Amino acid sequence: MDEHWLTDDWKTLKALLPEGWEDKAHETGAFVRPRKIKNPEQLLRLLLLHVAPGLSLRNAVARAALSGLPGITDVALLGRFREAQGWLQC
């Protein structure tokens, strides 16, 4: 899999996000407190790593760890995904 979108393309994608998208993560409860995932940007990247290329949760967290994103379990990512539904719909 081409890792280019995890770095260079992320800057482009981030520039296209609506203003205040990080604040919305807090407002909707998608990002409540930092633990291994330190900020809404890391959370969004993890979620997109699962959804965009269609990776399983297990493969997404493995690829995330290899890419320098926080190492979490597939079950933890599923929980974060459930909490992020309102945020992602904004």
Taking the model in full, what pTM does it have? 0.84
State percent of the chain over pLDDT 90.
61
> In the structure, what pLDDT confidence band is assigned to residue 6 with cuts at 50, 70 and 90?
low
29, pLDDT greater than 80: yes
Residue linked to tokens 């699962």: 50
Both structure tokens of 35: 């633990």
Dist CA 67 CA 51 (whole Å) = 16
Average pLDDT of the chain, as a whole number: 89
Q: Count the Cβ atoms, other than its own, within 10 Å of residue 36.
A: 12
The domain limits of the chain are 4-89
Q: Count, in order, helices (H) and strands (E) of the chain.
A: 6, 0
> In the structure, what pLDDT confidence band is assigned to residue 75 with cuts at 50, 70 and 90?
very high
Q: What pLDDT is recorded for position 54?
A: 87
